[in-house]
Amino acid sequence: MRTLFIPKFPLNSLFLFSNSPFPFPIAAFRSLSFHSFHRSPSSAASSSSPTMPPRLAMISHVDSGGPLARRLWNKCRRESILSMYTPFCVCLACGTLNIDTFRHYIGQDVHFLKAFARAYELAAECADDDDAKHSINELRKAVSEELKMHASFVKEWTAADGKESPVNPATVKYTDFLLATASGKIEGAEGLANLATPFERTKLAAYALGAMTPCMRLYAYLAKEFKGVLGALHGDHPYKTWIENYASKGFEEAAERTEDVLEKLAATLTGEELDTIEKLYHQAMKLEQEFFCSQPVSQKTVLPLIKDHNPAEDRLVLFSDFDLTCTVVDSSAILAEIAIVRAPKPEQIQPEDQPITRMSSADLRNTWGVISRQYTEEYEECIDKVLPPKTEEFKFEDLCTALELLSDFEKRANNRVIESGVLKGLNFEDIRRAGEHLIIQDGCFNFFGTACKSENLNVGVHILSYCWCADLIRSSFNSGGLLTQVTIHANEFAFEEAVSTGDLVRRVESPLDKVHAFRKVLENYGNDRNNLTVYIGDSIGDLLCLLEADIGIVIGSSASLRRLATRFGVSFVPLYPSVVRKQKDLTKDSRRSWRGLSGILYTVNSWAEIHAFVLGC
């Protein structure tokens, strides 16, 4: 859905595009959106993670203020999510983790904690501030207590032969990194050869805490997530003590103390030195992720989704919406602003040889405003008309009937846009450059790129979008190096001499059009392989596809989507607790447990969750 309000742009607004020839402020684009009236503000700003080519302006959604440790943690949310979705952590959370696997993990963690205690000791020796030194020593004592707890675990879960597990490479890599950092052996860090001055020693202590803080925060985070799903699981949980220890108030306080000490030690550091801490923090998070990934899980698991994928027999088909699912801003807002910025001023005389006559920028802005207000008012009326009394029973056919009315409305709205002439005169080159610099949700292109480049996957990727101009989408995916791997299903501008005529080649205008395109794709693939379908979307326009896919994933938070869908018996459940439940119920004879038309949609906050769930770490 779209809504369009035409704002007056503040001169100091943040620009939407990097290195863009257009002065397009991002605040303005949120207002200009013709599609996105129904979405809550959080739907366009709820993800975090991977890096992309520098030419793409990615949005980070990281707090620019607040304590240092919080900012660093937010920047590393991808690693925390990938850790949480490892088979080891999922099996631990649901309580079905093989005892031998847990024994092995405890043995690895003991080696790690010994290195952790030694790193604290080295950091305390370097801390010049008495309070900081005392705090670090207290933290080291807490690690000693943790080792005692692990000793009880080791005693309780000792292998039958009494042998210790050998230290695996991931553990060695992590402990070597910690001890090297605490000893001052830090790549790229200057001034650590001579630790004669208090400042140099304090700086080294800060670096050591920067490498240690993420471990504390990650364990507290994972344990709280595990404890959050325990209530939904029945029976005695064999690893409840472990979970409650790391989810306890005491451990949370220890994590906060570590972060407070880091804040104090880093208070006098330069920007370059703070960058070093950030690199160490991120490296530690990656090593934590590798540590959890490396735990040998021999039992059958539900994750990652592609674990049993055989390219000769299976096909993974990924579908996604584009506007506010892949992007931060709705495409109609971008097209509107290109039209307004490039339109002639009222006083300008248009050349007689210009192929298409355009309205002035002032008239164009006013027309957009009228169309937007009409759309918003009629959309609300349409939704109110199709809402039935709430039911607990999933009624897919009734939902399809209701969305037929919405589909008719969307097509009438597009008719008004075409007849108004507001899409006339857009230059193809402007559209192409706008697509190249479009802000993409963190992790989106990384996910599609990883899936497409995997030699062990038979995968198809399809974008289904209401976007008026598929060339904008093509340009965006091309900038991410993905155009040849992705099939785009969207409307097209009609062009004359690379200038839009104002007409549309209509292909996807409504929820029914989207689901027809979805079905057509699967029909074209045929039955030569087992198709597993995943649809990722964020709005009412995606609802039928989300429900027909084997796995429908809702990213962000759309109030109108939930309002409409729940009236027809659709349930929205967080993805991670659902994965944990499926793991608990998994048996050797379990068949594929993800099926379409179940009436259940899975919710996530970021593309990192989708990546972890589908592709793993």
Residue 149: the pLDDT is: 67
Same domain, 598 and 508: yes
Task: Return the higher-pLDDT residue of 350 and 272.
Answer: 272
Write out the two tokens for 425: 């005169």
Q: What is the pLDDT of residue 113?
A: 84
Range of the domain at 370: 314-344+358-615
Same domain? For 128 and 168 the reply is yes
Count of CB atoms situated within 10 Å of the CB of 160 = 7
Largest Cα–Cα distance of the chain, in whole Å? 92
3-state secondary structure of 424: strand
Does 33 have pLDDT greater than 60?
A: no
Range from 235-244, 340-349, 466-475 carrying the lowest mean pLDDT = 340-349
How crowded is residue 172: how many other Cβ atoms within 10 Å of its Cβ?
A: 14
pLDDT, residue 135, reads 75
Any domain includes 396: yes
Q: Tell me: the pLDDT tens digits for 170-224?
A: 999 999 999 999 988 887 665 455 555 767 778 888 999 999 999 999 999 999 9
Question: Which residue bears the tokens 């087992």?
Answer: 530
Annotated catalytic residue: which of 146, 225, 288, 337?
288
- Confirm whether 154 is domain-assigned: yes
Q: Which helix (H) or strand (E) holds 203?
A: helix 198-230
Q: Residue 128 sits in a domain of what CATH number?
A: 1.20.910.10
How many CA atoms lie less than 13 Å away from 12 in the CB half-sphere? 0
Share of the chain above pLDDT 70, in %: 81
pLDDT at 18 over 60: no
Same domain, 527 and 459: yes
Residue 450, pLDDT score: 97
Lowest mean pLDDT: which of 92-106, 114-128, 130-144, 466-480? Answer: 130-144
Which of 401, 338, 409 is CA-nearest to residue 368?
A: 338
- CB neighbourhood size of 348 (10 A): 11
Higher pLDDT, 60 or 131: 131
Phi/psi at 564 (5° precision): -75, -50
Structure tokens at 75: 């920047």
Q: Does residue 51 sit within a domain?
A: no
pLDDT tens-digit readout, 378-411 = 998 999 999 999 888 999 999 999 999 999 999 9
Catalytic residue among 215, 326, 382, 545: 215
DSSP codes, 597-612: SSSEEEEESSHHHHHH
* Confidence tier at 257 by pLDDT (50, 70, 90): confident
Confidence (pLDDT) at 200: 76
Contacts of 338 (CB under 8 A, 6+ apart): 22, 426, 427, 430, 431, 434
- How many structural domains comprise the chain? 2
Q: 289 and 339: one domain?
A: no
Q: Which pLDDT band holds residue 54 (cuts at 50, 70, 90)?
A: very low
Instruction: Give the tens place of pLDDT for each residue, 279-335.
Output: 999 999 999 999 999 999 999 999 999 999 999 999 999 999 999 999 999 999 899
Question: Which DSSP helix (H) or strand (E) runs through 569?
Answer: none
The mean predicted confidence, pLDDT, of the chain is 84
pLDDT bucket at 352, cuts 50 / 70 / 90: low
What's the mean pLDDT in 511-530?
96
Measure the CA–CA gap between 462 and 30, rounded to whole angstroms.
Answer: 25
pLDDT at position 399 is 96
- Total-model pTM: 0.87
Q: To which residue do tokens 């010049």 refer? A: 128
- pLDDT, residue 224, reads 95
Mean pLDDT of 32-42: 45
Do 337 and 279 lie in a common domain?
A: no
Whether 413 and 549 share a structural domain: yes
Amino acid at 337: E
256 and 318 fall within a common domain: no
Same domain for 278 and 134? yes
In the predicted model, is pLDDT for residue 7 greater than 50?
Answer: no
Better-scored residue on pLDDT, 574 or 52 = 574
Where residue 394 sits, what CATH number does that domain have?
3.40.50.1000
What whole-number distance in Å separates Cα of residue 187 and Cα of residue 180? 10
Q: Is 377 a catalytic residue?
A: no
180 and 74 in a common domain: yes
Active-site annotation holds for 215: yes
**pLDDT band at residue 232 under the 50/70/90 scheme:** low
* Pair 94, 181 in one domain: yes
Task: Identify whether residues 225 and 324 lie together within a single domain.
Answer: no
Give percent above pLDDT 90 in the chain.
Answer: 57
Residue 566 domain-assigned (yes or no): yes
Does residue 462 fall inside a structural domain? yes
In a domain, 41, yes or no: no
The whole-number pLDDT of residue 353 equals: 59
Collect all residues with Cβ–Cβ distance below 8 Å to 151 and sequence separation of at least 6: 110
Residue 301 inside a domain? The answer is: no
Residue 251 is predicted with a pLDDT of 87
Residues 290 and 383 in one domain: no
545 found inside a domain = yes
Q: With bands split at pLDDT 50, 70 and 90, how would you rate the model's confidence at 61? A: very low
Least confident of 53-67, 162-176, 423-437: 53-67
